[in-house]
C-alpha cells in the first residue's frame, strides 16, 4: 500500500510521543516492503528542523536531535520532487488557508491516489472534509 507521511509521523520514530507504536509499525512495514512511504523533497529539511527545535526546547537531550535525524534518514520515505506539485499545492493552500509546504503533502497524496497519514490534529480537522484521504495516525490499525 502506498502512503504519504509527514514529519509528525516520522518524528515519532525517534521521540516517545502519543501514537508512537503506530508510527513505528508504519516504519517497520515500510522497511519490510509492506508499505511504500512517500514524502515531498522538503521532508528531510523539515524533519531535521523538527529535531533541532525539540532539542532547543529540551524535549530531547543534547545531541539526540542529530542522532534522531540520522536514524530517520536511514529509513527515508521515497522522495518526490516538489516542483511538479507546486501549482496544485498552491491552489490547495490558497483555498484552504494552509501553507504551501503542508499542501505539498496533500498534493502528493492526491497525485499518488493514496492516503496522507499525519499526527497533526489541526491539519486533519482543517482538511479531511475536502480531502478524505487525509488520515490521522491514530486511525491506522
Closest CA to 135 of 1, 2, 5: 5
Domain count of the fold of the chain:
1
| pLDDT, tens digit, 9 for 90 and up, residues 117-137 | 999 999 999 999 999 999 999
Does residue 68 lie within any of the structural domains? no
Position 82 scores a pLDDT of 98
Confidence band (pLDDT; 50, 70, 90) for 24? very high
Residue with the three cell numbers 496533500 = 106
Question: Going by C-beta distance under 8 Å and a sequence separation of 6 or more, which residues neighbour residue 3?
Answer: 26, 35, 36, 37, 38, 114, 115, 116, 117
Buried b (16+ CB within 10 A) or exposed e, 79-103: ebebeebbebbeebbeeeebebbbb
Q: Is 67 domain-assigned?
A: no
- pLDDT the model gives residue 53: 97
Which residue range forms the structural domain that includes residue 83? 2-40+77-139
Q: What is the pLDDT of residues 43-59, one digit of tens each?
A: 999 999 999 999 999 99
Q: What gap in Å lies between CA 56 and CA 103, rounded to an integer? A: 27
* pLDDT value of residue 31: 96
In this structure, is residue 71 part of a structural domain? no
pTM: 0.95
17 pLDDT tier (thresholds 50, 70, 90): very high
Q: What is the CATH number of the domain that holds 133?
A: 3.40.50.1010
Q: How many other C-beta atoms are found inside a 10 Å radius of the C-beta of residue 55?
A: 17
With a CB cutoff of 8 Å and minimum separation 6, the contacts of 62 are: 55
Assigned domain for 98 exists: yes
Measured CA to CA in angstroms, residue 78 lies from 5, 29, 36, 96 at distances of 10, 14, 8, 26
For all residues of the chain together, what is the average pLDDT?
Answer: 97
**Contact present, 38 and 112 (Cβ < 8 Å):** yes
Q: Is 57 domain-assigned?
A: no
pLDDT at 141: 85
Q: Does residue 26 belong to any structural domain of this protein?
A: yes
Amino acid at each position: 500500500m502506498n502512503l504519504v507521511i509527514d514529519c509528525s509521523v516520522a518524528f515519532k520514530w525517534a521521540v516517545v510521543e502519543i501514537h508512537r507504536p503506530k508510527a513505528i509499525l508504519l516504519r517497520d512495514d515500510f522497511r519490510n516492503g509492506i508499505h511504500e512511504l512517500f514524502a515531498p523533497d522538503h521532508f528531510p529539511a523539515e524533519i531535521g528542523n523538527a529535531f533541532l527545535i525539540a532539542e532547543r526546547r529540551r524535549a530531547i537531550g543534547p545531541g539526540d536531535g542529530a542522532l534522531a535525524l540520522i536514524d530517520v534518514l536511514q529509513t527515508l520515505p521515497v522522495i518526490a520532487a516538489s516542483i511538479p506539485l507546486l501549482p496544485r499545492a498552491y491552489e490547495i493552500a490558497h483555498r484552504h488557508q494552509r501553507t504551501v509546504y503542508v499542501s505539498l503533502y496533500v498534493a502528493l497524496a492526491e497525485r499518488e491516489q493514496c492516503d496522507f497519514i499525519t499526527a497533526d490534529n489541526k491539519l486533519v480537522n482543517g482538511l479531511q472534509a475536502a480531502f478524505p484521504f487525509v488520515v490521522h495516525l491514530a486511525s491506522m490499525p
